[in-house]
Chains A and B, each alone.
Chain A
Amino acid sequence: MRSARFWLLFVLSLALLLALAAACKGEEKEGVTPTPGGLTGKLEIFSWWTTGGEAAGLQALYDLYPDKCPGDVEIVNATVAGGAGFNAREVLTTRMLGGDPPGSFQVHMGHELTDTWVTSNNMEPLDTLFTEEGWNDIFPQGVLDIVSYQGKPYSVPVNIHRANVLWYNTKVFEDNSLEPPTTFDEFFAVADALKAAGITPLALGDVEVWTSVHLMETVLLGSLGPDDYNGLWTGETEWSGPQVTAALETFKKVLSYVNSDHSSLSWDQANDLVISGDAAMTVMGDWANADYEAKNFADYGWAPTPGTDGMYDALSDTFGLPKGAPNPDAVTCWLRLVGSKEGQEAFNPLKGSVCARTDCDASLFNPYLQSAISDWKADTIVPSLAHGAAASQGWVTEIVDAATAFVTDKDVGAFQGRLADACVAAEVCS
């Protein structure tokens, strides 16, 4: 019968050994197993696509990878869920600052990428890759402009989503003899009729607050038109001016037709209101379409949000090459896959978005997406605010905070003041 002392010493030495083992263990080699030709090692893809069509689309790309990029690469699907990348941004930022970049990471095209990672010299330029793959002729110029900085592209867009879509329940509209509105005046007329019939005109679910900003940007676009909307992000349009005041007043009026419990619902729960007929319309990006399909709902129609016919409020998920990324050859091949016709045709129908390329086979997509594809070719492309294309992350968060206060206090003056300040703080306005 050994004494307590013996056991104590035994446990302590064991703990010490384990600690030493752990300290020496750490260096995980990047799988340098010699293979006969081809790429080797690990490829870490970082995203927040964890379930549903997004995960399926991502997996489809992974399945294509060995053919496109022969060798023995192990793909590590590093994902962190959280709406609009809430958690993923923290993990990515911490890793990049900590000197451990992933192979490639999902990032929205535009200022979210440029002002965060490109201007801080964390990304490799991809101009050679774009030329080699002929992408300068395949992606629309609008997209090439948005993904480029000082003339060089820094990420490859895998898809395009449209933000300015008004979804509506066709049965509800039929029963009330209504037509989908094309202008704000029509919208308010329709909304009044619906209110009188006891139906919530517009469903909003902003427990994740980006959805209110999403709604706001479509109102801004519809009120200002594409040129002045673009001017907001370059400093050409006066944030304190009367145009913006009018747009914000319209936004305020739109908010009066929204369900009162909007701060308890996520966007898909707001979609449920449209499905059940408790609400008639909702403004959401075209991932709402994927939601309807997943829930087997067919009685929906779509239209551009009021005032935005002919405009495509675009956002895109893209991938780039961080500086110091492990296994850059495997990453570069991944980028080739992501920008290729096969890759985009595999990914997008599952994700519920359209190809960024203009040469994808439209027959692979459902009716809504097919109409989106034809709009994509013809419409004026403007960058989305809520989804990182139009403004830097720092700027967007200031706008989001100001919008949070506005949705409750409806104080246009204070809101406009804060928006003007945000532009100055972002060093775009003077």
Chain B
Amino acid sequence: MDSEAAPTRETARGLPRVPFPRFRRRLTPERIASLALIVPSTVAVAVFVYGFIGWSALVSVSEWNSITPDYTFAGLRNFKELFQHFRFQADIRNTVVFTLLFVAACLMIGLFLAALLDRGIAGEGVFRSIYLFPMAVSFIVTGVVWRWLLAPRSGVNLLFERSGLGPLKQDWYTDPTVVHITSGSRLGEALHDIGIGWLASPDFGIPLAMTSVVIAATWQMSGFVMILYLAGLRAIPEELTEAARVDGASEFQVLRHIALPLLRPVTLSAMIILGHVSLKIYDLVVAMTQRGPGFATDVPALFMFETTFAGSHFARGAAISIVMLFSVSFLIIPYLIWSLRREARV
């Protein structure tokens, strides 16, 4: 951390990287003022985030299952029961499926649109506004509208029918099918033979209804990813892409071999923000599909809300929150450590 003024070096982007300022060991008044300025935020977060998480953790290991608080210690029983609960098992599956599909869709569509727009398009501002403005709408409104749009009885199905594309009609979010490896199939038998036959169950499948929620969420967030990529693309020095084109590379090759590696930090930022949205997804599901047929679109935040406030199972609700936190940490902490180390290294 205490580095002397290290020699600057050029990063891949051709920008000089400067070392961070030296830490002065003396407690100057300035130093004290700087710490004082960061104290309010620290205290606020300590109370409102960590204090409350602590309370939640306390409740998650308690027996509190009715309106009257009951902090009797219950060990990890709530967690054990939670992971055995059929609804929570569906929730875990749904979160994984939703996150993977949603993040992938947003990144691909965002990049695609950014690549299209980065070509000196007439009316770029208009197109950009159109793609970006779904972000202005709240998830609740998005959910209501897309519930209508993907209702099998009307919406896009009606459009398909009227335009002669009848066979494209889907059951959308009313479809209870979970695409999974059936235990009777050859793959299922093969898995059974290696001892992981339990993978061949609906708990490890893809609920088709979830794709509807992915579509709505992608509509909402892909514009934001597009803007990130557009900013990132514009930051790439012309010389690099020109040089490649002069050498005979096609546009696609330029994108793939020059731009994409340089856009990695953008991709990672986007993944963090999208990941955090998808792991906490709630408003959209409530407004659009609620839990879905056979919990096909149920998510942990919804289970937590209902079990706590409708069912008064506070301990179980808190256990769900703690599990959600752990799952987020599992993804975010490695990224943050990697990111901070990368900065320190430079």
Contact = CB atoms under 8 A, between A and B. Distances in A.
Interface in B275-303: 286, 289-296
Contacts of A260: 152, 171, 174
B56 to A, nearest CB: 14
Contact of B293 (A94, A122, A263): A263
Interface stretch (B1-9, B224-232, B248-256, B308-316): B308-316
Nearest to B153: A261
Interface in B297-346: 305-313
A408 B151 contact: no
Contact of B176 (A116, A117, A122, A408): A408
B147 A397 contact: no
A398 B313 CA distance: 10
Given A393-B310, A397-B307, A408-B176, A120 B66 contact: yes
B130 to A, nearest CB: 28
B20 interface: no
A323 interface: no
B152 A264 contact: yes
Contact of B312 (A121, A261, A394, A407): A394
A251 B171 CA distance: 23
Contacts of A263: 173-174, 176, 289, 292-293
A89 interface: yes
B86 interface: yes
A403 B209 CA distance: 18
Contacts of A392: 312
Contacts of B65: 394
A398 B316 CA distance: 12
A209 interface: yes
Q: Which of under 10, 10 to 19, 20 to 34, or 35 or more describes the interface residues of A?
A: 35 or more
Interface string A406-418: 0111000000001
Contacts of B68: 120-121
A191 B295 CA distance: 28
A356 B140 CA distance: 37
B290 A90 contact: no
Nearest to B152: A261
Contacts of B152: 260-261, 264
Contacts of B67: 93, 96-97, 116-117, 120, 122
B87 interface: yes
B310 A86 contact: yes
A189 B79 CA distance: 48
A264 B66 contact: no
B174 A398 contact: no
Nearest to A96: B67
B286 to A, nearest CB: 8
Nearest to A425: B65
B172 interface: yes
Contacts of A122: 67
B299 to A, nearest CB: 14
A14 interface: no
B89 to A, nearest CB: 11
A53 to B, nearest CB: 22
Contact of B153 (A264, A394, A405): A264
B138 to A, nearest CB: 15
A404 B295 contact: yes
Contacts of A265: 151, 153
B239 to A, nearest CB: 36
Interface string A110-138: 00000111011110000000000000000
Contacts of A401: 86-87
Interface in A166-201: none
A208 interface: yes
Nearest to B173: A264
A262 interface: yes
B290 A93 contact: no
A408 B176 CA distance: 7
A364 interface: no
B289 A207 contact: yes
Given A263-B173, A404-B291, A398 B305 contact: no
Nearest to B150: A264
B147 A89 contact: no
Given A117-B67, A207-B290, A394-B312, 8 more contacts: A90-B305, A93-B308, A97-B67, A116-B67, A120-B68, A121-B68, A261-B174, A397-B307
22 contacts: A89-B309, A89-B310, A90-B305, A93-B312, A97-B67, A120-B68, A122-B67, A260-B174, A263-B293, A264-B150, A264-B172, A264-B174, A265-B153, A393-B311, A394-B65, A394-B313, A397-B310, A404-B87, A404-B291, A404-B293, A404-B295, A405-B295
